[in-house]
Structure 1
Amino acid sequence: MPYVWLFFAGAFFCNAIPHLVSGLQGLTFPTPFARPRGRGDSSPIVNVVCGFVNIAVAIALGTDRIQWPATLEDVAALLAGGLVMGLFLAFHFGAVQRDKHTDWGQSKPAAKS
């Protein structure tokens, strides 16, 4: 059972990265608090807070469950959670970005010659 918690700890840690990176760069990025949920952009401050909350959850889930020294199974569970979340985020936000660029391209006025 501790491997399930470690899997989710890895997933939360991976999810923290894009929020922190965007927020620290002063860029907007989708969060669950935006409208539409998970597609609309949130402010950099919301992203920094969201990233830190994800890290706090990852630490809370993983700290008591990992064995010291860490076993191969512990590390594999953390990495698997991070990989699964990373792939999900890549597919999801790839679609979000394609939709934004498609919408932007359609609403852009045609150049006059």
Structure 2
Amino acid sequence: MYYIAMFFSGLFICNSLPHLASGLRGEAFPTPFATPRGIGRSSPLVNVLWGCANLLVGGFLLARHGIPAATDPALVAGCLGFVVMGVFSAIHFGKARKTWE
């Protein structure tokens, strides 16, 4: 269960980054609250709030289960979650951007 929590911690923290970056720049970006879901764009405020929520969940999982201090399976699981979300976001939002242009 620990490794799963670390995986999701990396996933949530990675997902917070594009939402926070877009919102803080004042740009619209897709969220689950947009229409169509995950493709349409939400306001910068919604993105900041969604990014903060993701960051809080990821941070909570890290705090609850401890931050790995060395290269161990938990750290690998967290990094894997980060990479999985990064790859998914790059592919998904790359396609979504094409629908906006």
TM-score (ref. length: structure 1):
0.83
Confirm or deny: 8 A CA contact 2:6 2:61 kept in the other structure: yes
Partner SS state of residue 63, structure 1: helix
Matched, 1:47 2:47: yes
Query: Which residue does the alignment assign to 2:85?
Result: 85
**1:93 and 1:38 mapped to 2: Cα distance?**
9
Q: What's the CA shift for 1:62?
A: 1.9
Letter in 2 for 1:61: L
Task: Write out per-residue CA displacement over residues 17-61 of structure 1, whole angstroms, 9 at most, x where no aligned residue.
Answer: 000000000101010001111011111111000000000110122
3-state SS, counterpart of residue 38 of structure 1: coil
Misfit runs of 4+, over 3 Å: 67-71
1:100 paired residue number: 100
- Whole-Å Cα distance in 1 between the matches of residues 12 and 44 of structure 2? 19
Higher RCO structure (Cα 8 Å, ≥6 apart): 2
| Unmatched segments (≥5 aa) in structure 1 | 102-113
Q: Paired residue for 1:4?
A: 4
The question of whether the paired residues in 2 share the 8 Å contact of 1:8 and 1:58 is answered with yes
| Structure 2 counterpart of 1:95, one-letter code | K
Cα distance change, pair 67–14 in 1 and its aligned pair in 2 (3 A): closer
Measure, in 1, the Cα distance between the counterparts of 2:67 and 2:43: 38
Specify every segment of 5 or more residues in structure 2 that has no aligned partner in the other structure, as ranges: none
State the TM-score, normalized to the length of structure 2. 0.92
Could you tell which deviates more after superposition, 51-60 or 69-78? 69-78
Q: CA contact under 8 A between 1:34 and 1:42: conserved in structure 2?
A: yes
Matches of 1:28 and 1:68, distance apart in 2: 35
* Paired residue total: 101
Matched, 1:57 2:54: no
RMSD between aligned residues:
1.3
**In the alignment, structure 1 residue 25 sits paired with structure 2 residue 25:** yes
Provide the residue aligned with 1:13 in structure 2.
Answer: 13
